[in-house]
Amino acid sequence: MQNKVVIITGASSGIGLALAKEFAQRGSKLVLAARSSDKLHDIEEELKKHGTEVITVTTDVSIERECKNMVDTAVEKFGCIDILINNAGLSMRALFKDVELSVLKQLMEVNFWGTVYCTKYALPYLLKSKGTVTGISSIAGFVGLPGRTGYSASKFAMHGFLEALRVENLKTGLHVLIAAPGFTASNIRKTALTNDGSQQGETPRKEEKMMSAPKVARHVAHAIQKRKSTLVLTFVEGKLTVWLKKWMPRTLDRFTYKHMAKEPNSSFQ
C-alpha cells in the first residue's frame, strides 16, 4: 500500500478514522472526506505530524456535486486514485409502521447514492490504475434486520450495485470488495436515526464487547491487498448469519428476531 492514493469517506470517526490511520501506517497517500470540517482538520494535522501525505475534503456524500469535487480535488493533488473506500453511512432504529418515509430516503441518499456518486466519478481513474472500489457494508446487507428496514434496504442496494459493477469489470482489472464488519464499536448507533429523523443519542448495545474499529480496519486493508471479493467479520453475527441465510432462512428469521429484541428499549418483543 506504499504510496497508493486512498480515498476514504466518512473518515472523521469510527471505522473511517481507523481506516485512515491503518492506511497511513502502510504508507498510503490519503484523501479523507466527511461532513465535519473541524474533525477532518484535527485528523489531518495529527497524520501530517507522522509524515503522512494527506488532504481532507469536506463532503456530504448525499450531494452529487460534492462527491465530484472530492474526486477532482484528489486527482488535482495526487494525480491518480488507487483505492476508493465508500465508508460514509447512517443507521436507523424504528419500526417501519412508525418511521417517516423521509428517514428511509435519507438513508438511501447517504448509504446507497453516496456510494454510487463517489464510485461514478472515481471510476475512470480506478480503471486506469486497476484499483479497488470498496463498500463498507453490514450484515444488514445480507439479512433484513427488524427495526432497520431503511438501513437494510440501503445495504442490499449497495451490494447489488457493487456486485454488478464487479461482473461488468471482470476483464478490466478493477477490484471490487464488499466488506461486512458485523457489529463494530463505533458511533454509528449513537447517530442512528429514530422514527422522526432525530438522532438516537446513545447506543443500545455493549460497545466494549464488539470488534474494535482498528481491528476492522486491519481486516479491510488486508482484504484489499489480497483483492478479495467479500469480507464478512465475526462468527455468530457474521459468518454464521450468512450461512443460515442460505441454508436455514426460517430459522434465521427467528434467531434474528430474538437477537434484536434483546436490545434495551426494543420497539418489538
Residues marked active site are found at 151
CB 174 within 8 A of CB 127: yes
**Residue 171 to residues 71, 79, 196, Cα–Cα distance (Å):** 24, 24, 45
CB 241 within 8 A of CB 152: no
**Residue 51 to residues 8, 42, 222, 233, Cα–Cα distance (Å):** 18, 15, 22, 31
**Residue 35 to residues 14, 56, 66, 114, Cα–Cα distance (Å):** 14, 10, 10, 13
What are 139's strand-pairing partners? none
Beta strands (DSSP E) in the chain are 5-9, 29-34, 54-58, 83-86, 132-136, 175-180, 184-185, 211-212, 230-232
CB 9 within 8 A of CB 33: yes
CB 142 within 8 A of CB 242: yes
Distance CA 226, CA 98 (A): 43
Its sign, for the CA torsion 29, 216, 87, 209, is negative
Burial class of 100 by CB neighbour count within 10 A (0 to 12, 13 to 18, 19+)? middle
